[in-house]
């Protein structure tokens, strides 16, 4: 999920709280032996694009005497494939179901809680998760929903809040520029499944084939499959409707010249509620630095800086209790969580590859 930055006008300035540097000379430290504030090399950070305030990274680098090298991916599946093909990273940000897959494949290092005491700042509901009981291998990073951004000047004011805005050719044929759909197998296929009345996690191949065929039938109205620039495409007038993530959409709409002509909606058939998580790959060469960075981001003030910049829901109860998160962000996600028919994507085991294959067939 590509995450868009916020302008200074809607960011809250907070002081970055940083701890004393550890010894960076002990490269290759054992993850189980990592201590609080210890660093063991530079941090190779594999993340969704524009999902973290660059100033947080800069402050971390200066305080701990390491470099943070960022690389980006546009789907959980792309990230997984990169690691499976030999990519070496110290910190990744997988979504809920992908954490479960990576645990099953022994791709993650358990979180060393001695090195990450700020996990105590997590809200209680993020401490016992179905995809990672405990949790043992992950720390919640941010959460949100996947819905639709709508340009009402191009679509009209009187529209049904439905996935039909993407999948009904009779509607999309009249939309200037067409629509943008996420280039993400679980999200794109999940949206089609929802429109057909099925679960995001349906494992009936006949139903998945229906979803694939629905996308094929809608392709004349689909301008692009994109997980990176979809929000900009919406507010720039390039597409009439964009399938995308809540924080990106709300930020892009808020920064548009004419924000009143855009809406972010959750379709009435249902939508995705997701949780992104910080995790350390088993192949990490600097696990201590990774734990130190997780602990740094879980500080109450740093956690608020993160949320106020990317406009996603915060799992950091300490940030919320201290009133450090912008009230508009708090109110938006409080309202979101009362929406009907929200589902979390879950790991479907061996069936998972079918989502990727069927989306590829639909796009071809």
Q: pLDDT confidence of 19, banded at 50, 70, 90? A: very low
Lowest mean pLDDT across 210-219, 239-248, 274-283, 327-336: 327-336
Percent of the chain residues past pLDDT 90, beyond the cut? 87
Query: Are β-strands 280-281 and 108-109 bridged in parallel, bridged antiparallel, or unpaired?
Result: antiparallel
| pLDDT tens-digit series, residues 198-208 | 999 999 999 99
> Per-residue pLDDT for 339 more than 80?
no
Q: pLDDT confidence of 257, banded at 50, 70, 90? A: very high
Give pLDDT, residue 279: 98
- Architecture of the 144-273+340-363 domain: 3-Layer(aba) Sandwich (3.40)
> What's the whole-number average pLDDT of the chain?
91
Over residues 248-273, the mean pLDDT reads: 95
Residue 114 C-alpha from the chain's centroid = 27
Give pLDDT, residue 336: 76
What does the alpha-carbon distance between residue 131 and residue 98 come to, in Å, rounded to a whole number? 8
CATH 3.40.190.10 domain span(s) along the chain: 38-143+274-336, 144-273+340-363
Q: pLDDT confidence of 29, banded at 50, 70, 90? A: low
> Per-residue pLDDT for 85 more than 80?
yes
Cβ proximity of 288 and 171 under 8 Å: no
| pLDDT tens-digit series, residues 125-135 | 999 899 999 89
Number of neighbours of residue 162 by Cβ within 10 angstroms: 17
Total-model pTM: 0.88
Give pLDDT, residue 239: 98
> Per-residue pLDDT for 11 more than 70?
no
Helix pair angle (185-195, 205-218), 10° resolution: 90
Give pLDDT, residue 17: 28
> Per-residue pLDDT for 26 more than 70?
no
CA angle 23, 24, 25 (to 5 degrees): 95
| pLDDT tens-digit series, residues 303-312 | 999 999 999 9
Over residues 142-151, the mean pLDDT reads: 97
Q: pLDDT confidence of 50, banded at 50, 70, 90? A: confident
Give pLDDT, residue 334: 86
What does the alpha-carbon distance between residue 216 and residue 82 come to, in Å, rounded to a whole number? 28
Give pLDDT, residue 242: 98
Class of domain 38-143+274-336 (CATH, top level): alpha beta
Query: Are β-strands 241-245 and 179-181 bridged in parallel, bridged antiparallel, or unpaired?
Result: parallel
Give pLDDT, residue 1: 45
Percent of the chain residues past pLDDT 70, beyond the cut? 91
Give pLDDT, residue 39: 98
Lowest mean pLDDT across 46-50, 52-56, 102-106: 46-50
**8-state DSSP, 337:** T
Over residues 142-146, the mean pLDDT reads: 97
Q: pLDDT confidence of 352, banded at 50, 70, 90? A: very high
Over residues 212-223, the mean pLDDT reads: 97
Cβ proximity of 26 and 40 under 8 Å: yes
> Per-residue pLDDT for 190 more than 90?
yes
> Per-residue pLDDT for 12 more than 90?
no
The CA distances from residue 97 to 88, 238, 275, 318, in Å, are 21, 32, 9, 26
Query: Are β-strands 271-278 and 139-151 bridged in parallel, bridged antiparallel, or unpaired?
Result: antiparallel
Give pLDDT, residue 157: 93
> Per-residue pLDDT for 25 more than 70?
no
Over residues 169-186, the mean pLDDT reads: 96
Over residues 226-238, the mean pLDDT reads: 95
What does the alpha-carbon distance between residue 50 and residue 162 come to, in Å, rounded to a whole number? 28
Q: pLDDT confidence of 341, banded at 50, 70, 90? A: confident
CA angle 312, 316, 321 (to 5 degrees): 110
């Amino acid at each position: 999920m590509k995450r868009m930055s916020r302008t200074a006008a809607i960011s809250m300035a907070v002081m970055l709280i940083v701890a004393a540097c550890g010894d960076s000379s002990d490269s290759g430290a054992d993850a189980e032996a990592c201590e609080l504030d210890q660093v063991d090399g530079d941090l190779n950070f594999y993340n969704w694009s524009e999902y973290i305030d660059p100033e947080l990274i800069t402050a971390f680098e200066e305080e701990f005497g390491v470099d943070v090298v960022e690389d980006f991916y546009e789907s959980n599946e792309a990230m997984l494939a990169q690691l499976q093909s030999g990519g070496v990273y110290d910190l990744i940000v997988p979504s809920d179901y992908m954490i479960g897959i990576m645990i099953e494949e022994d791709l993650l290092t358990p979180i060393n809680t001695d090195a990450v005491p700020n996990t105590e700042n997590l809200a209680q509901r993020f401490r016992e998760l179905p995809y990672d009981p405990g949790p043992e291998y992950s720390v919640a990073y941010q959460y949100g929903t996947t819905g639709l951004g709508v340009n009402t000047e191009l679509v009209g004011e009187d529209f049904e809040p439905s996935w039909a805005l993407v999948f009904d050719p009779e509607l999309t044929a009249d939309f200037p520029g067409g629509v943008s759909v996420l280039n993400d197998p679980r999200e794109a296929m999940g949206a089609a499944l929802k429109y057909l009345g099925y679960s995001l996690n349906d494992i009936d191949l006949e139903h998945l084939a229906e979803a694939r065929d629905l996308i094929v039938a809608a392709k004349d109205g689909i301008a692009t499959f994109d997980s990176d620039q979809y929000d900009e495409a919406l507010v720039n007038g390039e597409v009439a409707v964009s399938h995308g993530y809540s924080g990106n959409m709300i930020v892009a709409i808020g920064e548009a010249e004419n924000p009143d002509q855009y809406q972010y909606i959750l379709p009435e058939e249902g939508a995705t509620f997701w949780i992104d998580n910080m995790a350390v790959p088993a192949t990490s060469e600097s696990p201590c630095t990774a734990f130190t960075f997780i602990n740094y981001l879980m500080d109450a003030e740093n956690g608020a800086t993160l949320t106020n910049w990317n406009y996603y829901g915060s799992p950091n109860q300490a940030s919320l209790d201290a009133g450090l998160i912008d009230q508009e962000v708090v109110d938006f996600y409080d309202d979101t969580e009362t929406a009907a028919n929200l589902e979390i994507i879950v790991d479907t085991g061996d069936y998972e590859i079918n989502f990727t294959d069927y989306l590829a067939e639909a796009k071809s």
